[in-house]
Amino acid sequence: MLQLIPPDLRARLRDLRLVARRGGAGDGLGQHASRSRGAGLEFAQYRAYEPGDELRRIDWKLYARSDRYFVREAERDSPLTAWLIVDASASMRQADAARAGYSKLDAAKTLAACVFELALRQGDRFGLAALGGAAPVFVPAGSAARQRDRCLLELARLQAAGGWPDAAALHPLWERIRPPSVVVMLSDFFDEAAAELALRLAAARREVLSVQLLSAEERDFPFAGGHRFLDPESGAERRVEAAAVRRDYLERFAAARAELARRFGAAGILHVEHVLDRPLDEPLRALFGGAGVESKRSA
């Protein structure tokens, strides 16, 4: 099994929570944010005790029987469903020269694995949609460790190739992603269609979180001399004197990013930029950390 999440990152995931910002998750007794693990809730599973679990959650009767610590986990009242939409078009193949083997898709895979981990820890349902390549890959929503492994397996198989799929190929997406779900989109949003999808999902009552993945070279344009730039997706090329176009590029690119952030903000999409040379928990912390979570935990 591919180790997608480095140990230090895994350690920093502890205080993150997958939270639906919108209330009214629908079915169940209450809202997702007010879930409780008190008595009377429907039993879900036993799992082995891990250091860090609260002592009061240990099932002492089971300990008396088996001489092992088990933690009793309960089904939540209103579990949320998290969908990961990973852009696997060829532009996600982009990597920095400073770290050649680490592409935007690799970062997206790790981020997705982190979100799976968060969801699994909370007992939430989660699914995966990888768009791009030959055909879109869907892993229907589910929960538990096997679902996570299934998703990780698909992620490991994923290769960045091709372009963004057309609208017809996206139909299953609309069928599977039910309205109250949380959708995390991992893409560079260089494709207008990707941004369109995010906006339409947000407009259709899905809670959309987006992480725009950029390479450091795209952010800084550290080139000099004559360059022939190749678009991995369309194959178009542009021959330019890099130092001369840098300023213009930075302006236009910043403007494009600002415009994207503005549109997403207007649509209620929580939008985060992540550049490959930054730590990976930054976008996670921006999306799933935050004061609201802290206050809910203390409540």
Partner 1 sequence: MSLALLAPLGLAALAALALPLLIHLVRRLELQTTPFAALRWISERVRPQRRLRFERLWLLLLRLVLLAALALLLARPVWNGDAQPARSWGVVAPGVALGDARAAVGAGEAEWHWLAPGFPRTDEAPPSSTVAVASLLRELDAELPSAAKLAVVVPEQLGGLDGERPRLSRAVDWRSVPARAPEAASWSNAAPIRLAVRYAPESADSLRYLRAAVAAWNQREAGRYAFDAQPAEVPLAETTTWLVWLAPPAPALTQWLDRGGTALVAGRADAGGEPLWRDASGRVLARQSSDGAGRTIALAGALTPADLPPLLDADFPDRLRAAFAGAPPAPDRAPAAVAAPRVDERIAASAAQSPANARPLDAWLAWLIAGLFLLERIVAMRIGGPAAEGPRARAAKDAGGTRAQESPT
Task: Note the residues at the interface with partner 1 (CB under 8 A).
Answer: 90-95, 97, 100-101, 103, 159-161, 188, 190, 214-215, 217-218, 223, 225-234, 236, 238-241, 244-245, 248-249, 252-253, 256
Residue 15 or 248: the one with the smaller Cβ distance to partner 1 is 248
Neighbouring C-alpha atoms within 13 Å toward the C-beta of 63: 12
Supply the minimum distance, in Å, between the C-beta of residue 210 and partner 1: 17
Residue 15 or 231: the one with the smaller Cβ distance to partner 1 is 231
Residue 74 or 214: the one with the smaller Cβ distance to partner 1 is 214
Cα–Cα dist 299/297, whole Å: 5
Q: Work out the number of other CB atoms within 10 angstroms of the CB of residue 85.
A: 26
Cα–Cα dist 163/181, whole Å: 26
Residue 14 or 228: the one with the smaller Cβ distance to partner 1 is 228
Supply the minimum distance, in Å, between the C-beta of residue 196 and partner 1: 16
Residues with Cβ within 8 Å of residue 200, at least 6 apart in sequence? none
Burial readout 201-233 (b: 16 or more C-beta within 10 A, e: otherwise)? bbeeebbbbbbbbbbbbbbebebeeeeeeeebb
Inter-residue contact 16 to 288 (CB < 8 Å): yes
Residue 24 or 225: the one with the smaller Cβ distance to partner 1 is 225
Supply the minimum distance, in Å, between the C-beta of residue 269 and partner 1: 21
Long-range contacts of 20-27 (CB under 8 A, 24+ apart): 20/80, 20/180, 20/182, 20/207, 21/207, 21/270, 21/292, 22/180, 22/207, 24/180, 25/78, 25/80, 25/180, 26/78, 26/180, 27/78
Supply the minimum distance, in Å, between the C-beta of residue 194 and partner 1: 12
Question: What does 116-164 look like in DSSP terms, one character per residue?
Answer: HHHHHHHT-EEEEEEESSSS-EEEEEE-HHHHHHHHHHHHHH----S--
Cα–Cα dist 181/19, whole Å: 11
Residue 15 or 241: the one with the smaller Cβ distance to partner 1 is 241
Task: Classify residue 251 by its DSSP letter.
Answer: H
Supply the minimum distance, in Å, between the C-beta of residue 231 and partner 1: 4
Supply the minimum distance, in Å, between the C-beta of residue 128 and partner 1: 20
Residue 49 or 223: the one with the smaller Cβ distance to partner 1 is 223
Residue 52 or 225: the one with the smaller Cβ distance to partner 1 is 225
Supply the minimum distance, in Å, between the C-beta of residue 157 and partner 1: 11
12: helix, strand or coil: helix
Q: Work out the number of other CB atoms within 10 angstroms of the CB of residue 252.
A: 11
Supply the minimum distance, in Å, between the C-beta of residue 236 and partner 1: 6
